[in-house]
Amino acid sequence: MISSVSTISRLTSNAIKRRGGRSFSSISKNTEDGNKKSFSTMTEVQSSVNDVMIDRFLSSPATSLRSSFPDIPQQQQHRLPNDMRERNDLYQDEEIRSMAGIDSELRNDWTKAEIAEIYDLPFHELMYRSATVHRMYWNPAEVQQCTLLSIKTGGCTEDCSYCSQSVRHKTFVKPTPTMKVAEVLEAAARAKEAGSTRFCMGAAWRELGEKKNAFRHILSMVEGVNGMGMEVCCTLGMLNTEQAKQLKDAGLTAYNHNLDTSPEHYPKVITTRSYEDRLNTISNVRDAGISVCCGGILGLGEEETDRVGLLHVLATLPEHPESVPINALVAVKGTPMGEDDDIGKVDAFDMSRMIATARIVMPRTMVRLSAGRLSFS
């Protein structure tokens, strides 16, 4: 994660409500040996602004995470694990967090009506609520810089109406072969040097299928990037259970597989892959122990009800995605959506409303700003 702290914030009104109805200013958890471990939710103010850590979760000085997480280096033993699954496991019995009059809880039983009510809040109220929830779970002065590299461009057989890489559309994109392992690792090294802590590799094809030689190369890429100490993400189309397991064994951190839009609007955008196909791949990724990165695109001719519908699907999955990228359509001439002037009318307020609603209904999820961001001021 990249920290850039410009202000000091002391969030003294944080409270955690546990099952049983009591409120605490810290999270308590019983360890296997019967001892109680406490994790403070208060801001720790250091002597230097550059050292300030805002709203991080730190263990109390008298305790250590070494017994539960022996692989954590000594100098980080008072920090909770970076792995989202390990981190969330510490709060399985947590019910509600509260701050500044706003309650937040991890739920998988949201209704469309509840999400729509949040989405339709007056803009400033929505911003306030989402910013407050964000500060309950995340450092508000911290973002993660990621780099995405297309390791196989063009030639995809899908008919996604927005995509310039489909063979069904006549665009400026020309098919290229899969990049060599050494080229990808050189690009990853440059990305790390530029400040990225996550490196994602994308291939323009429908599925891995029987691409055994290409898959071997991709596994080598994953191992190489993982060896640099970066988070590794891939987006390679549909995966089966064995392919997902091999990627996990190679060191893959996350797999991106977007749903794009609501189930109702989806058939108007893509016909060569079903919504259920996408959900099956997400399930295979999750079962392999890989973090799920799954979001959508605004500007595909959808209604606001479709945006709510997409969030509803994501927020009611058995486990929320660890990452939800919110994209805005980048219209490309030659694609069906690049020729329709009524498509893609998305502004910063649309994006902000979608991001804010995602933050509230999936508080532990990292919301990512991806395609389309360069078109905003």
Active site residues: 156, 160, 163, 200, 233, 293, 368
- Angstrom distance (rounded) from CA 277 to CA 317: 15
Helix (H, G, I), strand (E, B) or coil at 61: coil
Burial of 197 per CB tally in 10 Å (0-12, 13-18, 19+)? middle
CA distances from 353 to 102, 182, 210, 241, 304 (A): 18, 41, 41, 35, 10
Cβ contacts of 104 within 8 Å, gap of 6 or more: 96, 97, 98, 133, 136, 137, 360, 363
Beta carbons of 377 and 332 less than 8 angstroms apart: no
Cβ contacts of 281 within 8 Å, gap of 6 or more: 237, 238, 239, 257
Distance of CA 141 to the CA centre of its chain: 17
- The 10 Å CB-count burial string (b at 16+, else e) for 94-115 is beebbbeebebebeeebebeeb
Cα pseudo-dihedral 93, 98, 102, 107, rounded to 10 = -10
Strand order in the sheet with 23-24: 23-24, 15-18, 94-99, 102-104
Helix (H, G, I), strand (E, B) or coil at 246: helix
β-strand partners of 53: 44
